[in-house]
Amino acid sequence: MPTVFVLTGPNLNLLGVREPEIYGRTTLSDIEDRCRARAAALGLGIDFRQTNHEGQLVDWIQEARTAAGIVLNAGALTHTSVAILDALGAAGVPVIEVHLSNIFRREAFRHHSYVSSVAAGVICGLGAHGYELALEAIAQLLAAAANKEER
Ligand code: CA2
């Protein structure tokens, strides 16, 4: 079964616990459960991980070179990390960028993402549902690639 890495960055372990007015009451563990169910329905496995550390995220992105794709919410590192951009560029697998909040309705410093330039697609502002949509997008990209190979 193809495995998708679902990677989540700094402070997102606080979901559902702090600042519910911005990020809602859904916990990261709830999101993992929803991803697992959606992935199973799509015939995908997932490797779901969260870290507060940039280097750890880079190591996991490098490890994901053997995966079917990456769903990434890099948190605040989205707006700062050239190291993550470089790792994603080298990964050679489809990347879908996810943000729970609509980063374009927030402070100007959140409007630029280093991840977007190497992502196949970007989903933001749809809360936890964005992760499920990202898995659907990966499944579709994999099916399109397989279809292309057949021809
Ligand atoms: O909207 C998103 O998913 C973000 O990636 C979340 C990041 C933020 O820096 C990005 O601009 C947009 C922040 C995650 C912090 O998560 C918290 C959750 C609960 C309480 C405090 C922080």
- Tell me the whole-structure pTM to 2 decimals: 0.97
List strands edge to edge, sheet with 45-50. Answer: 45-50, 3-8, 69-73, 95-99, 121-124
Mean pLDDT in residue range 59-75:
97
CA of 75 to the centre of ligand 1 (A): 5
The answer, yes or no, to whether residue 151 has pLDDT greater than 80, is no
d(CA 131, CA 106): 20
- Whether 53 is catalytic is no
CA of 101 to the centre of ligand 1 (A): 8
Q: Residues 53, 79, 99, 129: which is the catalytic one?
A: 99
Question: What CATH number has the domain spanning 3-150?
Answer: 3.40.50.9100
Stated as kind and residue range, the H or E segment containing 107 is none
CA of 18 to the centre of ligand 1 (A): 11
Helix (H, G, I), strand (E, B) or coil at 92: coil
d(CA 90, CA 12): 25
Domain boundaries, the chain: 3-150
Is the CB of 34 within 6 Å of ligand 1?
A: no
Stated as kind and residue range, the H or E segment containing 5 is strand 3-8
pLDDT at position 143: 93
Mean pLDDT in residue range 18-34:
91
Q: How confident is the model at residue 19 (pLDDT cuts 50, 70, 90)?
A: confident
CA 34, 36, 38 angle in degrees (round to 5)? 70
- Whether 23 is catalytic is yes
Q: How far is CA 151 from CA 2, 50, 59, 122, in A?
A: 21, 38, 35, 28
Among 24, 72, 21, 20, smallest CA distance to 48 is for 72
Among 16, 18, 4, smallest CA distance to 91 is for 4
- pLDDT tens digits for 89-121? 999 999 999 999 999 999 999 999 999 999 999
Indicate which residue's Cα is closest to atom 20 of ligand 1: 18
